[in-house]
Amino acid sequence: MSFHKSDSRTPLAPTLYSKIPTVTPGYDNEKHYGTRNSSTVSINQSKFLRPDMVDVPAQQAAGSTLPLVLTRKKGGGDDTEDVNYNPFEHRKIEHPTSDVETFVHLLKGSLGSGILAMPMAFLNAGLWFGLVATFLVGAVCTYCVHILVKCAHILCRRRKIPMMGFADVAEQAFLDGPTSLQRWSRFIRFIVNCFLVIDLIGCCCIYLVFVGTNVKQVVDFYTQESELSIRLWIVIVTCPLLFMCLIRNLKFLAPFSMVANLLMFVGIIITFTYIFTDLPSTEGRVGIADVTQWPLFFGTVIFALEGIGVVMSLENDMKNPAHFIGCPSVLNLGMGVVVSLYTLVGFFGYLKYGAETKGSITLNLPVEDKLAQSVKLMIAIAIFFTFTLQFYVPISIIWKGIQHKIAPEKQNMTEYGIRILLVLLCGAIAVALPNLGPFISLIGAVCLSTLGMIVPSIIELAVYYEDPGYGRGKWRLWKNAFLIAFGFIGFFTGTYVSILEFHDEFNGSH
C-alpha cells in the first residue's frame, strides 16, 4: 500500500484545497512554452477540475483518489490529446517510491491471507489442471492491470492531469466513450467504489473466520471438555476489534502493520517446512478435478491473486511511473513472483494433504505439535492486526460519500457509530457463514471478477472507442469481449457454486 500527499492550489477554488490532496490539475504552460499565461491556466483549471469528486486519497489504498474533469466534446483545440503533455512530469509527490520499493509494495499488497487458501484451490481443480490454470488466470489478471494503467495514462494526457485513481479512470473513460455510456459515468464510479467496499468488507469477514478457526483449534486441544463453537469464537474475536477500529489515524495503526508483517512472514516460512516434509507421490492425487468444482477454484485464485484495487495507488506514487507497465516492468516482475509463490504453495500444499486439504493450509498443521500451534497463533494474530488496516479503506470510502450530508457538530459521533456498525456487520456475516472455502470463493467471484476483469475491459473499450479505435479487424473489441465474458462466467458460476456450498452447510450435508 502506498502513501503520499501533495498540495495543489488554484486561485479559482481556495476553499477546496483540503478536498484535493494529491492533484496538480492545470497544464504547466511555462514548462513547455517558456512563458506562463495565467489566464490560460485559469481557464484550463476551471474547465476541467472536478473537486467535488474526490473520494479516498491514494494513501488510504484502493478507493478513488483524485478529482475528475467535466465532460467535453472531442476534436480541436484543448479537446485533443496533447502529446507534449507528460503527466508524470507534473506529479507533485513528497516521497516518490523507486522501482524496487514499488516492487516490494506490490508483493506486500498481493501476498496476503489468500496464499494460505491456494491448496484448497488446487483441491477444487486437481493437481495438474490447477498448475496450468493458476498461471493462466495469473496472466489474465496481470494483463487486465496493464489495461487499466495504460488507459489511465491515456486519460491523464487527454485531460492534462497528473494521476487518477481506479474509480476516476472508470468515470473518465465513460465520459470519453460513446454517448450512450456518458450518462452512466457517475454510476460506474459508484459501482467501482461499491465493489471495492464489498470486497474489503468481505475480506474483513474472512479474517474474522480465519482468526476464530485457528484460535479454536489450539484452545480446543488443551480444553477438550469445554469446546466452544466456531461462531462463539468469532464473536469473542470481534469484541476487541470494536475498540481497535475506532482508531482513525493510520499513524497509530502502523506498529500493528509491522507486527503483522513479521508474524505472517515467520508463520508462512514455518508452514513451508511442514509442507515440504515427507511429500507423497503425485500418483495419489487427482490430476483434473470434476468440472463442477472449477468455479470454486476460479473464485479462490482470483481472490488470492487479484491486487487491482491497489495498483493505481502504487503507480501514482512512483518516481518513474512508466516503469510500472511494459516489458520488463515492475508489474510483470512482481506478478510473476506472486503467481509463482501462489502456485508453489497450492501445488505442494494439495500434494501434501490431498483430500484433507482445508480452507487455510494452517488448519492442516498438526495441532498437537507446539511449533504448529505457534504458527496458527502467529498468523491468527497477524490477520487480527491486519483487520484494522483493511477496515480503514472501506470506512474511508463510505465516510467520504456521506460526510457532507451530516452536520459538522454530529460528524464525530456519526463516524464512530458507522465504524461500530460496520464491525458488527462483519461479525454477523462471519458468524452466519463460518466456512472459509466457499466464503473466499464467493468474494473472489463476485467482487474481483468484476473489478479485475470486467471493468478494465469495459474501460479500454470506452477509451479506445473513437481514438485510436479498436484496431484491424476490431481485435480489441473481440479481445475485451472475451475477457468480459470470462469475467461474467466466473462471476455467475463462482457465485452459484459458493451459494450451493453454503446451502449444503446449513442443511447439514457437511
Q: How many whole angstroms separate alpha carbon 129 and alpha carbon 45? A: 53
Q: Tell me whether the omega of the peptide bond preceding residue 328 falls within 30 degrees of 0, making it cis.
A: yes
Mean pLDDT of 32-49: 36
Q: How many whole angstroms separate alpha carbon 251 and alpha carbon 267? A: 25
3-state class of 142 per DSSP?
helix
User: Does the pLDDT of residue 133 top 60, yes or no?
Assistant: yes
pTM strictly above 0.85: no
Lowest pLDDT segment from 14-23, 229-238, 369-378: 14-23
CA distances from 289 to 29, 128, 138, 285, 294 (A): 61, 9, 20, 10, 7
Mean pLDDT of 468-475: 84
pLDDT digits (tens, 9 = 90+) for 193-219: 888 888 888 888 888 998 999 898 888
The x, y and z cell numbers of residue 335, run together, are 506478478
**473 — alpha (psi -120 to 50), left (phi > 0) or beta?**
left
Mean pLDDT of 341-355: 91
Return the pLDDT at 81.
52
pLDDT digits (tens, 9 = 90+) for 379-412: 899 888 888 877 887 888 888 888 888 888 888 8
Confidence class of residue 508 from pLDDT cuts 50, 70 and 90?
Answer: low
Lowest pLDDT segment from 33-37, 106-110, 139-143, 307-311: 33-37
In the block, cell 495504460 appears at 150
CA distances from 400 to 65, 189, 395, 451 (A): 11, 14, 8, 20
Q: How many whole angstroms separate alpha carbon 169 and alpha carbon 62? A: 13
Return the pLDDT at 217.
87
Lowest pLDDT segment from 49-53, 198-202, 447-451: 49-53
Q: How many whole angstroms separate alpha carbon 295 and alpha carbon 103? A: 30
User: Does the pLDDT of residue 419 top 60, yes or no?
Assistant: yes
CB 261 within 8 A of CB 413: no
CA atoms within 13 A of residue 118's CA, in its CB half-sphere:
31
Return the pLDDT at 319.
84
Shortest CA distance to 312 belongs to which of 155, 436, 502? 155
The x, y and z cell numbers of residue 77, run together, are 483545440
Shortest CA distance to 441 belongs to which of 487, 498, 362, 382? 498
More confident residue, 312 or 459: 459
**Backbone phi and psi for residue 35, each to the nearest 5 degrees, phi listed first:** -130, 160
User: Does the pLDDT of residue 357 top 70, yes or no?
Assistant: yes
Q: How many whole angstroms separate alpha carbon 1 and alpha carbon 314? A: 7
Return the pLDDT at 347.
94
